[in-house]
Amino acid sequence: MRLIDFALGNLARRPARTALTVAAIALGIAAVVALTSIAWGFEASWQKANDARGTDLIVTRMASENSLPSAFAALEPGKTLLGYPHVHQVVGLLSEMLSVNSKAPPMFVFGWEYNSYLWDHLKLLEGHWPASDTEPVVLVGSVAAALLHKRTGDTLELEGHTLRVAGVFESAALVENGALLLTLTQAQLITDKPGKVNVLNIKLDGKASDSEIEELRTRVATSMPGFVAITSGELVSSNAIVRVSKAMSDATILIASLVGALVVFNTMLMSISERTREIGVLLALGWQRRTIMQLVCGESTILALAGGMIGILLGIAMTVGLEHLDLMRGKIEAVFSVQFLLAVLGLSLFLGIAGGLYPAIKAAALLPSRALRHE
Amino acid sequence: MNGPHSGLRKTVSSSRPGDAILRLEDIALHFDEGRTKAVNGIDVEVREGEFVALVGPSGCGKSSLLNIIGTLDSATGGRIYFRGQPYSTISDASLFRRQHFGFIFQSFHLIPTLSALENVIVPTIGCAGSAKALKERAQGLLSALGLQDRMGHEPGKLSGGERQRVAIARSLINDPDIILADEPTGSLDSINAAEVLDLLDGIRKENGLTVVMVTHAPEVSARADRVVHMRDGKLDTNPAEHT
């Protein structure tokens, strides 16, 4: 009989307590897996959308802590930017979170400059692109179309404006598939922000070196007060929603770690308290104190690893379930990586050792003669 | 019954029969800054292969003395020697205990969820050595104690006598030099008690083991080579006066 068999047998002796402890750890780990994968997925989805559009640099106001960059008048900054070396195109973009009707959850609405390169990466599944800048039509992402039950030719209400669905499109990025797309002029009209955009997308001529791009960024910062030129990655990582979701995931990891360690700690402390006499017998039989420590830490580690493995499966299941909820569909796309799941298992291992260490030390320090008299 | 046992190499080698295996000099165990004297100035010598019974009324310090001998407790005064080696020089009490002592308790102290065979193997967990050899040795011990058909049974499914026989097998698994038994028949009826004593005595004689047994039963102490009487933590040199 090996020590691990003995540890497993001890855990099996108290099935209800073992199951409750594993369940508590599993819930904590599931929350970590779900929130972290969603936070990463959210960031990855925005990154994918920005990359797919083919934008080299984005000019925006970065003072705002809003979920989306604050809107600004595009005309003057756009003209200025076009005068800078290597700037090939400057395209305005307006984003908002709007509700289509009282029943539907808010969704992203993008206004893109008509006939700009931003449209190039989209695939039209049905219908047609807007015929002009001012045509009162909307294009619906494939996920949004399913969520809203809209097809080409239907109408929908946005901020009191009735728009006809011109078509349904598909993008490489989930955030765009779950969105509504208008021409910039239409978006400015329905949001009552004429001439305004959230960001200006810059496409360079392809001849700019890294140092010239850096020079361009510096020039924007110095000659256009209040504006910054950043990469799409920088825009995504500075996005308030991304930052909040990452902060929530970090907080969940911290809370789940504390709760998990405390649960393991409490379980093992109760367990060794109940088994004081048995530990005394083991010591009397010649078990070394380090073997007692290995036993207790082994039991706590088995509990935590079992909780961790179940928690990972539960977390993946929860995330997949959330992705299919109407409220969340088209907004979240979880990202699971092997490294992340291994890190979660590592966290479980840490919880097991951390939670079991003090009870193990306490058990190993028992005086055999006193432990044998314990009632 | 001393089969090969590669897991344990004795740190103190054996001596000849009749030599002192244990020598206790002025052993004391005091509590509460000396106000409570569980053991007070005991001088005893135990020889190799001897069966010594420690007898005396409840609370006289028999079990405390046994615990001190077995390194389960530390004396607050005096010196003990094992084959001439002072206990004070023992660096690893657990290892020393495992190598030289086998314990038998009144209430068996078997682990309820383990089978009889597993209970016998428990003291070897964490030892080097072949698992197969240890299992075979445990099976051999249980068979020798008449439990060949009860090896897979958990303690709850065994009679009191059978449980104590499992405990005896467990005490022998590490090939000890001394068996320390604390009221081993205290929880048994007279028939089972006699059986257990017969077995223990047979094993002792066959293997040249030394037995130090705490008891207050006259029929048990009558089987011992020598009876050491205790009273109020001291040796009782005139036990007849107190009977």
The answer to whether the Cβ–Cβ distance between A277 and B109 falls below 8 Å is yes
B131 lies within 8 A of chain A by CB: yes
DSSP letter, residue B225: S
Residues of chain A contacting B139 with CB distance shorter than 8 Å: none
A166 lies in the same domain as A66: yes
CA distance A302 to chain B (A): 18
Does B123 sit within 8 Å of A1, measured CB to CB? no
Tell me the shortest Cα–Cα distance from A275 to chain B, in angstroms: 10
Dist. CA B33–CA B76, nearest whole Å = 10
* CB contact at 8 A, A261 and A354: yes
pLDDT of residue A68: 66
* Residue tagged 């048994």 (tokens): B188
Q: What fold does the segment set B49-73+94-237 form as a domain? A: Rossmann fold (3.40.50)
Are A160 and A261 part of one and the same domain? no
Position B225 scores a pLDDT of 93
Mean pLDDT (whole number) for A301-315? 96
Q: Would you state the pLDDT for residue B7?
A: 38
Residue B5 pLDDT > 50:
no
**Shared domain check, A110 and A24:** no
pLDDT at B99: 92
CB atoms within 10 A of CB A218: 11
Report pLDDT for A275: 92
The backbone region for A195, taken as left when phi is positive above 0, alpha when psi lies in -120 to 50, beta otherwise, is: left
Which of chain B's residues have a Cβ under 8 Å away from the Cβ of A368? 67, 72-73
Residues of chain B contacting residue A277, judged by C-beta atoms under 8 Å apart: 109
B10 touches chain A (CB under 8 A): no
Beta bridge partners of A149: none
Mean pLDDT, residues A255-268 taken together: 92
CB A278 within 8 A of CB A373: no
Span B52-81, mean pLDDT? 93
A237, part of any domain: no
Confidence of residue B19 (pLDDT cuts 50, 70, 90): confident
For residue B13, the 8-state DSSP code is: -
> Do A223 and A271 share a domain, yes or no?
no
Instruction: Identify the residue with better confidence: B10 or A243.
Output: A243
Q: Tell me whether residue A164 is in a domain.
A: yes
> What is the distance between the alpha carbons of residues B100 and A135, in angstroms, rounded to a whole number?
97
Cα gap A66→A240, rounded to integer Å: 6
pLDDT beyond 80 at A332: no
* DSSP conformation class of A70: P
Interface of B with A in 179-208 (CB under 8 A): none
CB A6, CB B122: distance < 8 Å? yes
Q: Which residues of B touch A271 (CB under 8 A)?
A: none
Q: Identify whether residues A7 and A67 lie together within a single domain.
A: no
* CB-CB neighbours of A87 under 10 Å: 19
Q: Of the candidates A183, A210, A230, which is a domain's last residue? A: A230
Q: Which residues pair with A199 in a beta bridge?
A: A60, A93
> Using 50, 70 and 90 to split pLDDT, how confident is the model at A375?
confident
Per-residue model confidence as pLDDT tens digits over B159-172: 999 999 999 999 99
CB B184 within 8 A of CB B213: yes
Q: How many domains does chain A have?
A: 2
Of A12, A286, A368, nearest to B174 by CB-CB distance is A286
Residue ending a domain, choose from A178, A206, A230: A230
Domain identity same for A84 and A188: yes
Q: What is the Cα–Cα distance from B85 to B93, expressed in whole angstroms?
A: 13
Whether residues A31 and A62 share a domain: the answer is: no
Q: Which of A160, A195, A230 delimits the end of a domain?
A: A230
B130 in contact with A, Cβ within 8 Å: no
CA B61 to chain A, closest CA, distance in angstroms equals 13
**Would you call A247 exposed, middle or buried from its count of C-beta atoms within 10 A (0-12, 13-18, 19+)?**
exposed
- Confidence band for B2, pLDDT divided at 50, 70 and 90: very low
Tell me whether residues B94 and A283 touch, CB distance under 8 A.
Answer: yes
- Quick one: average pLDDT of A108-113? 93
* Co-location of A80 and A34 in the same domain: no
DSSP, res B58: T
A328 near A178, Cβ under 8 Å?
Answer: no
Q: What is the mean pLDDT of chain A?
A: 89
| Distance, C-alpha A87 to centroid of its chain | 33
Q: How far is CA B74 from the centre of its chain?
A: 17
The residue segments making up the domain with residue A69 are 57-230
Both A145 and A192 in one domain: the answer is yes
Cα separation of A126 and A240, whole Å?
A: 34
Cα dist from A32 to A19, A96, A262, A373, whole Å: 20, 29, 16, 44
Residue A263: inside a domain: yes
Together in a domain, A30 and A74: no
Same structural domain, A252 and A226: no
Q: How confident is the model at residue B212 (pLDDT cuts 50, 70, 90)?
A: very high
Chain A touched by B111 (CB under 8 Å): yes
What is the rounded average pLDDT of the residues A136-155? Answer: 92
Using CB atoms, which residue from A277, A291, A368 is nearest to B125?
A291
Q: Do B109 and A278 make contact, defined as CB atoms within 8 angstroms? A: yes
Look at A227-231, B125-129, B226-230 and tell me which has the smallest mean pLDDT: B125-129
Per the prediction, chain B carries an average pLDDT of 88
Same domain, A21 and A73: no
Q: How far apart are CA B188 and CA B220, in angstroms?
A: 12
3-state secondary structure A129-162: CCCCCCCCEEEEEHHHHHHHCCCCCCEEEECCEE
Return all residues near A102 (Cβ < 8 A) that are at least 6 apart.
Answer: none
Query: Closest Cα of chain A to B123: distance in Å?
Result: 5
Find the residue in B nearest to A12 (Cα): B113
Amino acid at B4: P
